[in-house]
């Protein structure tokens, strides 16, 4: 039996089942160092037993995003299912707070979230109630490359992540990425200080 972990969150019943069956697995596979560590801690799989098998390799043929130029709309984006783990409600709350504090962006901007899921109507209602008209739920995208190529900045406001393929795809297109410090995101997305 092979057990594969690809998420930083497990439902309680799933965690109990995996813990019960952990000794029967001949091989444990984790999609990142973070998930391997969580597997060791939560499921009592001895550290070193989960093999790390990354699920993303940068494609040198990935189209490159064009930098923002003065006079055009700043296009921000995110890829992900519309689920509480992705933190899109936190993004909406942050935008609402900026508006309430009187922040006025120096250039017009839009934020497109490409993905679908059960949280869509809730996120739409939150954005509407907060007066955040710059946010658009773009729906499922079958072509992440074209979506990313049309952005100037990538956002990943996740509450939890294992390995976040979308953020790595954004980095591969040359996009600056703003992300929460969760899961494996801390490794590819590093602070950059100018000066």
Confidence check: pLDDT of 5 > 70 = no
Q: For 149-194, write each residue's pLDDT tens digit.
A: 999 999 999 998 888 889 989 999 999 999 998 877 777 666 665 5
Q: Which residue has the higher pLDDT, 78 or 104?
A: 78
pLDDT mean over 59-85? 93
Confidence check: pLDDT of 71 > 70 = yes
Q: Which residue has the higher pLDDT, 34 or 112?
A: 112
Domain residue spans in the chain? 2-52, 74-186
pLDDT mean over 110-130? 96
**CATH number assigned to the domain with residue range 74-186, chosen from the 4 options 3.30.365.10, 3.40.50.720, 3.40.50.2000, 3.90.650.10:** 3.40.50.2000
pTM of the model: 0.79
DSSP symbols for 87-155 = -HHHHHHHHHHHHHTT---SS-EEEEEEB--TTHHHHHHHHHHTT-TTEEEEE--S-HHHHHHT-SEEE
Q: What pLDDT sits at residue 81? A: 93
Q: What pLDDT sits at residue 119? A: 95
């Amino acid at each position: 039996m092979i057990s594969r972990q690809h998420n930083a969150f497990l439902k309680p019943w799933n965690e109990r089942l995996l813990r019960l069956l952990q000794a029967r697995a001949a091989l444990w596979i984790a999609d990142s160092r973070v998930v391997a560590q969580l597997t060791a801690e939560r499921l009592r799989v001895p550290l070193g037993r989960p093999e790390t098998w990354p699920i993303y390799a940068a494609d040198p043929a990935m189209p490159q995003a064009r930098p923002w130029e003065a006079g055009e709309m700043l296009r921000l984006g995110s890829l992900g299912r519309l689920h509480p783990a992705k933190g899109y409600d936190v993004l909406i709350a942050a935008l609402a707070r900026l508006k309430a504090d009187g922040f006025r962006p120096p250039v017009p901007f839009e934020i497109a979230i490409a993905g679908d899921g059960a949280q869509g109507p809730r996120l739409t209602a939150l954005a509407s109630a907060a007066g955040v008209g710059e946010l658009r739920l773009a729906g499922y995208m079958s072509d992440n490359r074209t979506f990313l190529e049309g952005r100037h900045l990538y956002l990943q406001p996740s509450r939890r992540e294992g390995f976040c393929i979308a953020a790595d795809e954004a980095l591969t297109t040359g996009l600056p990425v703003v992300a929460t410090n969760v899961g494996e995101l801390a490794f590819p997305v590093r602070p950059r200080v100018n000066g």
